[in-house]
Amino acid sequence: MQPMPDEPLRVSVESQIRTQIPAFMILGLASQVIQESKERVIASFDASGFEFPRRKVVTYLGPPETPKTGSCNDLAIAISILLQDQKDLPDPLYAWGELSPTGEVKQKGYMAQWCELLIQTPGTLIAHPEDLRELGQIFSWRVRNRLTIPKGSSIASCTHLKKVFQSLKEVTPLITHEEGPAPLPSKDTGQDLPPLSPSLARWLITALSGEHHWLMLGAKGVGKSTALRWAESFSGPAKAEDTWLRMRHLESWNALETRPVRRVHSSAKPTHLLGSFSRGCYIPGDLIRAHGGILFADEFPEWPRDTKETLREPLEEKRVRLTRRDGIIDLKCHFQWMGTGNLCPCGGTPARLPPDPKSGRCRCSDAAAQRYLERLSGPVLDRLDLVTWISASHKGSQSPEAFLKSLLNARMKIESHYESPPGLWSAQTCEKLISKNTHLEQTLSDLPNLSLRSRHKVVRVAATLAALDDQSGIEISHVTEAFQARPESWLY
Ligand SMILES: [Zn+2]
């Protein structure tokens, strides 16, 4: 198998031994890493007491037109040479593992992808016992979550190439058992959370229940990080499908049953977000790790420009695409984005906004403040539904119990009112809603400076607010409230 494409790729391995001058060739668009398999396989033969054929060995990797990479096919290549004349082998026989020069089989992970492959085509898998144990855990997880499980497959564990014949005599059916890894301890229950003002709580409930990307801007110390703390505590359970995809994309079994929360620091480079390749294998970055959960972007205006730009495609297309010399990936990836930022370099409140009791007035020059704001503008800002000004002037505090109750209630209402959370609606869905409601169309056209994109954002947020108020249609008050979360209404 090839690790890390969106769909697992079945690599066929077949070897021929010809009576010609001794040589060893691997064909089928094999990468440099696979070419190096030759040395590992020959050394493993020696270390295991097998004689490597003193003839011409040609190994074909199929499908011939697909590039292949990774050291994970070492065991399959060795077996295809060793068992070249053997009859009565399990069909199909899968092998998974890197060989060390001493002949040991190494654990390689990616077992969720193996699970997927065995659902498509059941067969017998020979691999390191730890990999097989992980496979068993994944099956159990699928049983518990009522997802399809592979049937009719068997396993053979192998720790050393010299034991491969014995392993194939000890093939056992792959049985799933109910017990999986123990559930992770639940996140904090809200006891130690700093106070959250009711107005910030309403925006947070709107963002979480409607799945809106949200940027909070404001002076230092006004409670932006508090909102992130609350979001983390109440992010809720992960959907089984999202956890499944994350398991497949991450290199090892990782049964996070709460929604993942990834915090990205302002010094992050594009590779931290997108991931990178190592020895031909893709190492996922924060975007993939946040799939089905939340990505926190602290001090967003401070992010390097190229790191900001990498968010464009994942936010819009919900995919991570990466093309490098070592490999190409194109993976589904969907997360909720929440960011924070100051309004100027000094972290004060600019003169054009009402004064804030907790923060001082901005001391920056006009040019410096303007340059700072320019860092915000651009394609990413265009993709956020909520861009709100946070100030400390709001009084009062929400209790965690009341917050949780309102959030669960909001999620239930969104589910009963709409097919999907408004934050995920396409432009067409928004236009369809507008065309059915002349009242809404008029209200939107009365709003100043509203671009087409912004218009859809107002509709999405207003739809969430309407559901929160349990209204079947969007009212003027919802549009007005949603417009407050547009940068056009307050930032410029
Ligand atoms: Zn300033």
CATH number at residue 451: 1.10.8
Q: What is the pLDDT of residue 357?
A: 74
> How far is the centre of ligand 1, averaged over its atoms, from the C-alpha of 347 (Å)?
5
Least-confidence region, from 140-154, 215-229, 399-413, 448-462: 140-154
**DSSP one-letter code for 258:** B
Distance 386 CA to ligand 1 centre (A): 23
Q: Is the pLDDT of residue 476 over 50?
A: yes
What would the two tokens of residue 265 be? 């620091």
Q: If you measure from the C-alpha of residue 127 to the centroid of ligand 1, how many angstroms do you get, rounded to a whole number?
A: 60
219 alpha carbon – ligand 1 mean position (Å): 9
pLDDT band at 177; cut points 50, 70, 90 = low
453-468 average pLDDT score: 94
Q: Lowest mean pLDDT: which of 116-120, 139-143, 274-278, 359-363?
A: 139-143
Stretch 131-140: mean pLDDT = 86
Q: Rounded to the nearest whole angstrom, what is the distance from the C-alpha of residue 363 to the centroid of ligand 1?
A: 5
Are β-strands 275-278 and 281-284 bridged in parallel, bridged antiparallel, or unpaired? antiparallel
pLDDT at 185: 43
| Residue 371 alpha carbon to ligand 1 centre in Å | 11
What's the gap in Å between 39 CA and the centre of ligand 1?
A: 61
Pair (353, 217) in one structural domain: yes
In a domain, 223, yes or no: yes
Ligand 1: centre distance to CA 197 (Å): 24
CATH of the domain at 267: 3.40.50.300
* 130 vs 141: CA distance, rounded Å: 17
CA angle 140, 145, 150 (to 5 degrees): 50
User: Cα of 357 to ligand 1 centre, how many Å?
Assistant: 16
Question: Domain count of the chain?
Answer: 3
57-94 burial, b if ≥16 CB within 10 A, otherwise e? bebbbeeeeeebbbbbbbbbbbbbbbbeeeeeeeeebb
Kindly state whether residues 278 and 227 are assigned to the same domain: yes
Distance (Å) from CA 216 to ligand 1 centroid: 17
Is residue 334 located within the same domain as residue 450? Answer: no
- Spacing, Cα 361 to ligand 1 middle (Å): 7
Distance of CA 225 to the CA centre of its chain: 23
Q: Which domain holds residue 451?
A: 418-492
What average pLDDT score do residues 150-160 get?
92
pLDDT confidence tier of residue 181, bands split at 50, 70 and 90: very low
Task: Tell me, yes or no, whether 261 lies in a domain.
Answer: yes
Mean pLDDT to the nearest integer, 405-420 = 92
The Å distance, Cα 377 to ligand 1 centre, comes to 17
Q: Is residue 4 part of a domain?
A: no
Task: Choose the weakest-confidence range: 182-191, 283-292, 404-413, 440-449.
Answer: 182-191
Determine the 3-state secondary structure of 449 from DSSP.
Answer: coil
Averaged pLDDT of the chain: 87
Percent of the chain at pLDDT exceeding 90: 51
pLDDT band, very low/low/confident/very high, at 180 (cuts 50, 70, 90): very low
pLDDT score of 80 more than 80: yes
Which range scores top for mean pLDDT: 134-148, 208-222, 371-385, 438-452?
Answer: 208-222
Q: Which residue has the tokens 């977000």?
A: 273
> Is 462 part of a structural domain of the chain?
yes
Segments of 52-184 assigned E as strands:
56-62, 93-96, 98-99, 105-106, 124-127, 154-157, 172-173
User: What pLDDT does 183 receive?
Assistant: 46
How far apart are the CA of 492 and the centre of ligand 1, in A? 15
Instruction: Judge if 285 and 367 occupy the same domain.
Output: yes
Q: How far is the CA of 375 from the centre of ligand 1 (A)?
A: 14
Write the CATH number for 134: 3.30.230.10
Q: Which range scores top for mean pLDDT: 10-19, 80-89, 278-287?
A: 10-19
Task: Say how many Å lie between the CA of residue 74 and the centre of ligand 1.
Answer: 59
Q: Is the model's pLDDT at 378 over the cut of 80? A: no
**pLDDT class for 429, splitting at 50, 70, 90?**
very high
Strands 386-389 and 214-217: parallel
Determine the average pLDDT of the residues in 454-480.
Answer: 93
Ligand 1 geometric centre to CA of 217 (Å): 13
pLDDT surpasses 90 at 220: no
Tokens of 101: 């020069």
Euclidean distance between CA atoms 192 and 224, whole angstroms: 16
In a domain, 188, yes or no: no
Stretch 429-433: mean pLDDT: 93
CA of 343 to the centre of ligand 1 (A): 7
